[in-house]
Structure 1
């Protein structure tokens, strides 16, 4: 049995593309826009040893699997077209054994993963317990300490690596990112002279926007050393040294308190669901009575699915990342003594944001390859396009949860109706 014939037998809906294997065999739709080429035995071993997204990603990232008809910086159309048709089936045991023998049982042994892949969860255990300080620092380093220039090429001048808010469908990415920061400032009701703490501040976009446009004293903390360096330089260039500061620091090590507002934009995904209690308790302790929290977080569409990400995302994108439904976030905030006053799902905005990031990667592809490996650039194209689909189809969501620390007498310092 040929490689193409064997793999076609394992696909539930057949091959909705043209497939060519290194043994000369072909299968699938000869008229398809897309041609998938398996170039060597190592690629076959990746696919056989880990059938599904991890095996495919390994073969593709390593260059053992090529796809004609797409730009690797934006495979969105390919993924959207074949999204529900790329599933495997298990034939009866006797037939499965026949297929595996024809492909070579030795190919069930996994080759060494591509260098862009992070350690497995089991091997990560040697770095510390999941979401220990050491292991969190390593996970953040893996994804964020890549290259500040690479992030500039993908994210654009705003250097905002979180969901933007598009005031109009034809708004630019930069306009949408500015609107995101401004919306958060409005929800927090920031006023000159107030003190803001931004947890997981990235390259300092929120800190700088709030200090410049709302006159607050803003402190941001990040576990990425490259992010902190970039943010500190940007603060100096904008002349905001007297109002803004970014530290290379674990948020749990912030010693100051009595903040009027706390923003957390894209941090909750990294802390672990089991740590929500201590996370919101930390926030409650750092807020002054009447102070507000805005928690901006990717969420699942329910509260019952497993929190851990799939194998591809866990190994290549966000090691140890966890997502859950907004209900668990709201409950954990309430249990910590905060009062949730408003929740908003803006998932469609994240699909638009990812569209624009993919577009930036395509437009800056050659320069991006001067900053990162071809494999890393492919990973980014895959994960952003796949995430765009997931937001569009409501597999994942993006929630703003606005909460307040009530005064001792129970008053909230909130207006009767939203003002933002």
Structure 2
């Protein structure tokens, strides 16, 4: 080791020097240094030099995520399947100050210049956006298929353990605080059905249908001829088996297909539950126009989507973009409503279910904790850690009103102005 690369500042000293209010948890590092209260319930331990290099070469959530997913940054005092309490404590009390240029140079030299060489990222990390751009335009059919595969084709067995029997990977609707996750997911599908005013013999198109929960609910409970489409091959295969097992083959169908390739039209209703997050904000006009074109005059559309708390368009952040939802974009419900209206849809009703999504994520984390060993055996500890981190962090986002969940109900109003709705909501 050259003199230039020999550490002269301990890692604990470096961390402590950058904090405005002190370390709220106990931090220890492989060099024997530490920071923060010795009796803290939650502890962070930096295991090795690779973890330090991750933190230094990708400051912020991406570097911490890389070190944590790789096992180079250990979190003690909470379960890795639900690090909610640790994340809440860190968000509330971990405040870094911006060092001066001289301070930053001193710290970097003190920690060792060799640590500025970026290690290869963990295998769970998706390509950066500039690399994805070389493989196709953002939100092209080919690129959308690839990023959907990255997130949804993890393992159906893994999703069964995390999501539960409903296999519903979208915000549930809790009829009361004591409702189970399964009751809340059934209520979500039924709320969508009631808002769409589904009746026996009608035809429903469910875009981004996932594992077919809405399709099967509409067919079984409402006697509706339901078609679902998904870009995930694994989801489509699972949904087809479930339809056969439940004896719904005469009413329900799921295809491995991009929604833009649906040729049928004149549907009585269209549901989109958790798809809009993936299509790109600039594609809202064509998206809503296409869905309107699939409806008969007087038909209804229910759009269920994560949104921002304001109408500023933004990417989802480095961790979410690289590990969870590549190419994901969020904006507010106002932007979404405006796009639907500009596409010729009459928006009749909307509601915000963000508190319900926080509760849904709480239950998914509980499932991950209860099935941790089996989940790790199925997908590996790194991937299981990604999911615990992402779901607990998302729960905090919904609780703090940083992100929301909106259902927007609209109609393809007839030429003479009939939208098919009663004077007051019937659901």
Aligned to 1:183: 191
1:104 Cα deviation (Å)? 1.3
1:370 Cα deviation (Å)? 1.6
Say whether residues 1:39 and 2:67 are aligned partners.
Answer: no
Residue among 33, 37, 45 paired with 1:29: 37
Say whether residues 1:371 and 2:386 are aligned partners.
Answer: no
Q: CA RMSD in A?
A: 0.8
1:132 Cα deviation (Å)? 0.6
Aligned to 2:345: 338
Say whether residues 1:8 and 2:8 are aligned partners.
Answer: no
SS in 1 for 2:234: helix
1:359 Cα deviation (Å)? 0.2
CA distance in 2, matches of 1:273, 1:13: 39
Q: Counterparts of 1:304-383 in structure 2 under 5 Å?
A: 304=312, 306-383=313-390
Residue among 406, 418, 422 paired with 1:411: 418
1:106 Cα deviation (Å)? 2.4
Say whether residues 1:74 and 2:74 are aligned partners.
Answer: no
Matched residues, number: 419
Q: Counterparts of 1:57-206 in structure 2 under 5 Å?
A: 57-206=65-214
Q: Which runs of 5+ in 1 are unaligned?
A: none
Q: Which runs of 5+ in 2 are unaligned?
A: 1-8
1:18·1:32 contact (CA, 8 Å) conserved in 2? yes
Aligned to 1:391: 398
2:24·2:89 contact (CA, 8 Å) conserved in 1? no
1:273·1:307 contact (CA, 8 Å) conserved in 2? no
Aligned to 1:50: 58
Q: Counterparts of 1:203-214 in structure 2 under 5 Å?
A: 203-214=211-222
1:74·1:358 contact (CA, 8 Å) conserved in 2? yes
TM-score, normalised to structure 1's length?
0.99
CA distance in 2, matches of 1:93, 1:307: 29
CA distance in 1, matches of 2:106, 2:315: 35
Between 1:15-24 and 1:351-360, the stretch displaced more is 15-24
1:369 Cα deviation (Å)? 1.1
Aligned to 1:276: 284
1:271 Cα deviation (Å)? 0.1
1:401 Cα deviation (Å)? 0.1
Aligned to 2:274: 266
CA distance in 2, matches of 1:109, 1:123: 20
1:122 Cα deviation (Å)? 0.7
Residue among 258, 263, 267 paired with 1:255: 263
SS in 2 for 1:342: strand
Aligned to 2:246: 238
1:62·1:375 contact (CA, 8 Å) conserved in 2? yes
SS in 1 for 2:365: helix
CA distance in 2, matches of 1:127, 1:133: 12
2:228·2:255 contact (CA, 8 Å) conserved in 1? yes
Say whether residues 1:400 and 2:404 are aligned partners.
Answer: no
Q: Counterparts of 1:291-306 in structure 2 under 5 Å?
A: 291-304=299-312, 306=313
TM-score, normalised to structure 2's length?
0.97
